[in-house]
Amino acid sequence: MTMPSQAEVVVAPVMTAVDDRGSYVDWPAVIAGIVIASAISIVLLGFGSALGLSMVDFRAGNDVNPVWIAIAAGTWLLWVQVSSFMAGAYATGRLRKRHNDATEDEADIRDGAHGLLVWGGALVVGAIIAAGGISAAANAVGSAAATVTNAAATVADDAGSTVDPTAYYADWLFRPAAPAEGAAPPAPPVADTTTARAEAGRILAQSAISGTLSDADRAHLGQLVAVNSGMPADQATARVDEVMTAVDQAKAQASAAAETARKTAVLVAFLTAASFLVSAVAAFWAAQKGGDHRDKATVFPGLFRRF
């Protein structure tokens, strides 16, 4: 048997075995990505709030449709989420340790899954922070409301009256009519109209609840106004119609404002949910791209370099 010569001896490099018995989830890399994504989103949202770009306080002109305001704020939120989640997920994909038992396709899936973990973890952290902020705001609002309530109660006790939403319209009903030029002054009203005003307020409240003023109530209000304001019956009836028209207009405006607020809230909720889904896809892709750059040892000498 011949022995191989020294030139024929091949020394194989020593490969260090990687222990693949641990978890496939690289939690330190995930936590690092969550921290990066959260920090970037906080910075961008801070700049946006300074410029008035906020989902809860979007400052714009009075003539701007709230729907367009919600769309603009949702677009800003989408950009903030996508950019921050992509940065955090890319860092996680780049930092994640790849296991030797994974094929290229499997490694891409695992990298993308780590990006989704960054997305989910950052959302949980954001929800906790938001819940803490909402709780603090609720406590502050509760304290302010208690102070205002106590002050209002004190004023009400001092004045001997409470705030009535129909009081303004009841006062309007019993305002004395200005005499026409050259006409005799109207008859003086009765000294005390408290009972009449209270009854008129109840009638107005009932009409607001039912949505209409019955003919009997309209006639009775006309009589009350004529007796207690000193104006003729026809003018009193005209005054009742004028006040009821104003009440209907106020109800229509309140209903329109409520409908606009409802539509805006629905649109904001939809845009927020959509931005979450889009940012999840972006995080998945960015983590895969980070893993691909990790495997290929991709460098960016013009951007990241030693100084």
8 A C-beta contact, residue 115 and residue 285: yes
The answer to whether residue 147 sits within a structural domain is: no
Residue 303 above 70 pLDDT?
A: no
The answer to whether residue 51 sits within a structural domain is: yes
Residue 87 above 70 pLDDT?
A: yes
The answer to whether residue 148 sits within a structural domain is: no
Name every residue whose Cβ is closer than 8 Å to that of residue 208 and which is 6 or more positions away in sequence: 166, 247, 251
Q: What is the pLDDT of residues 46-78, one digit of tens each?
A: 887 776 665 545 555 556 666 677 677 778 888
CA distance 125 to 127: 5
Shared domain check, 269 and 246 = no
The answer to whether residue 149 sits within a structural domain is: no
Decide: residue 31, CB within 10 A, 0-12 exposed, 13-18 middle, 19+ buried.
middle
CA distance 305 to 67: 46
Q: Is 197 left (phi over 0), alpha (psi -120 to 50) or beta?
A: alpha
Q: Look at residue 148 in the predicted model and tell me its pLDDT.
A: 41
**How far from 154 is each of 135, 162, 188, 266, CA to CA, in Å?**
28, 10, 35, 40
Shared domain check, 199 and 236 = yes
Residue 174 above 90 pLDDT?
A: no
Residue 155 above 80 pLDDT?
A: no
Shared domain check, 83 and 32 = yes
The answer to whether residue 16 sits within a structural domain is: no
Shared domain check, 269 and 128 = yes
User: What is the tally of structural domains in the chain?
Assistant: 2
For CA atoms 129, 135, 141, 147, the dihedral sign is: negative
8 A C-beta contact, residue 247 and residue 208: yes
CA distance 298 to 96: 15
The answer to whether residue 87 sits within a structural domain is: yes
8 A C-beta contact, residue 203 and residue 217: yes
Shared domain check, 70 and 214 = no
CA distance 279 to 147: 43
88 C-beta neighbours (distance < 10 Å), count = 30
Strands (E), 48-153: none
Q: Look at residue 140 in the predicted model and tell me its pLDDT.
A: 45
- Mean pLDDT is highest, among 77-91, 192-206, 251-265, 267-281, for 77-91
Shared domain check, 232 and 173 = yes
Q: pLDDT tier at 144 (50, 70, 90 boundaries)?
A: very low
Task: Find the largest Cα–Cα distance for the chain.
Answer: 145
Residue 151 above 50 pLDDT?
A: no
Residue 120 above 60 pLDDT?
A: yes
Shared domain check, 217 and 240 = yes
The answer to whether residue 18 sits within a structural domain is: no
Shared domain check, 131 and 32 = yes
Shared domain check, 94 and 46 = yes
**How far from 167 is each of 110, 173, 200, 203, 228, CA to CA, in Å?**
68, 10, 9, 12, 16
Shared domain check, 111 and 39 = yes
Q: Look at residue 139 in the predicted model and tell me its pLDDT.
A: 52
The answer to whether residue 198 sits within a structural domain is: yes
8 A C-beta contact, residue 201 and residue 166: yes
59-62 contacts, C-beta under 8 A, 24 or more apart:
none
- The overall average pLDDT reported for the chain is 75
**Which range of residues forms the domain containing residue 213?**
167-177+188-253
Residue 80 above 70 pLDDT?
A: yes
For residue 157, the one-letter residue type is: D
Shared domain check, 101 and 67 = yes
8 A C-beta contact, residue 114 and residue 29: yes
Shared domain check, 129 and 43 = yes
**First CA to last CA distance, the chain:** 60
Q: What is the distance, to the nearest Å, from the Cα of residue 109 to the centroid of all Cα atoms in its chain?
A: 34
